[in-house]
Structure 1
């Protein structure tokens, strides 16, 4: 009778048992896990910006107008008291929301850049008053050279007045980051971005704005800092 002991062993060309040779070719466990970890890191590095970019794009298309304590207009460049086209588009949209009864107050935001005589907030307030908003209904928060500094200041103004909710008016692609910063400073924020002005005129401008805001949002979430101005 032939037993397992009597069965001939299959040997390769080097005279070694085939099963042993197969075992020797298996990758070390540490190398397998390193490869898996590298795959996860690469996948996250690629997918995260894509997901955030989609969120920037999606938020830009929202237009929320619930009854709120105030409309918050984020500042942009101004020239000796005259709002830039970007800023003017935001201010006109905020005034339209005010006239529609979305909120009884408008908050303009923004400090001075180097060499300026007038703050963005003051320029915005004066423009809104010229449009027809009562001066008593426009609050100028003249602090901040970027979105984060300004939202911190607005959060303080909200606490002083006992306000909770706000509709943020800015460029469409800026909405996601602005809302996040407002919420982090105690404001129940939604956005109603402007649909006019230079920020929405061309697809090339829109694409570059989405890329920039994707980086700005990730920078803020990861480091708690503002990378871009308003």
Structure 2
């Protein structure tokens, strides 16, 4: 039992550390992992991911932004479309934005983004998400054969200790599930 607890604790610690280290890498594209939309607007979590990708773009760390995410609620637009509109309104050139609008999971976000990117022969990526989500997301991307690196949002909406602990517990669970079942 103590070996299991040690494994869980060390994995949780590695997830926390992984998402909180800045690597300042340049890539061809930023892949923004989808998150909820509220009507026509990005949710606060998604907005912070989009803002981070826009900053990477404006600072010259990426030349292209790939927005991912399908329709959550039937009367809402796809997450990727909301992300694209938001970025265009903040002076990102439409020609520098790619989207995929059918995914519903992190793995689907990445797999579909890779398909979209291959059309433009893009091969090096920054994965944009909340810090605690990145270890699993980058592992998935690399398992898909992507040259991928984490780019954590510096303005994550998960600020409180309670919110971070809940997210960390969730991510630790899903990290183990992914390691074992590759799902």
Common fold: TM-score over 0.5 = yes
| Structure 2 unaligned residues grouped into runs of 5+ | none
Match of 2:26 in 1: 67
RMSD (Å), alpha carbons = 1.4
1:86-125 matches, cutoff 5 A: 86-125=45-84
More strand by share: 2
Deviation of the 1:186 alpha carbon = 1.8
Offset of 1:122 from its aligned partner? 0.6
Segments of structure 1 that go 5 or more residues without pairing to the other structure are 1-41, 226-230
CA distance in 2, matches of 1:170, 1:66: 15
Distance in 2 (CA, whole Å) between partners of 1:49 and 1:159 is 36
What aligned pairs does 1:41-56 form with structure 2 within 5 A after superposition? 42-56=1-15
Q: Higher RCO, 1 or 2 (CA under 8 Å, sep at least 6)?
A: 2
Q: Please give the per-residue CA displacement for 1:149-170, whole angstroms capped at 9, x wherever unaligned.
A: 1111112223332221111111
- Give the structure with higher Rg (CA): 1
State the SS of the aligned residue for 1:186.
Answer: coil
Question: What's the CA shift for 1:143?
Answer: 2.1
- Show the counterpart of 1:32: none
Residues in 1 aligned to 2:22 and 2:13: alpha-carbon distance in whole angstroms = 17
CA–CA distance in 1 between the matches of 2:143 and 2:118?
13
1:215 to 168, 173, 182: 173
Q: Which residue of 1 aligns with 2:43?
A: 84
State the TM-score, normalizing by the size of structure 1.
Answer: 0.76
Runs of 4+ in structure 1 off by over 6 angstroms are: none
Counterpart CA distance in 1 for 2:151 and 2:116 is 21
**What does residue range 167-206 of structure 1 map to in structure 2 within 5 Å?**
167-199=126-158, 201-206=159-164
Q: SS at 2:98's partner residue?
A: strand
User: For residues 20 and 135 of structure 2, what CA distance do their matches in structure 1 show?
Assistant: 11
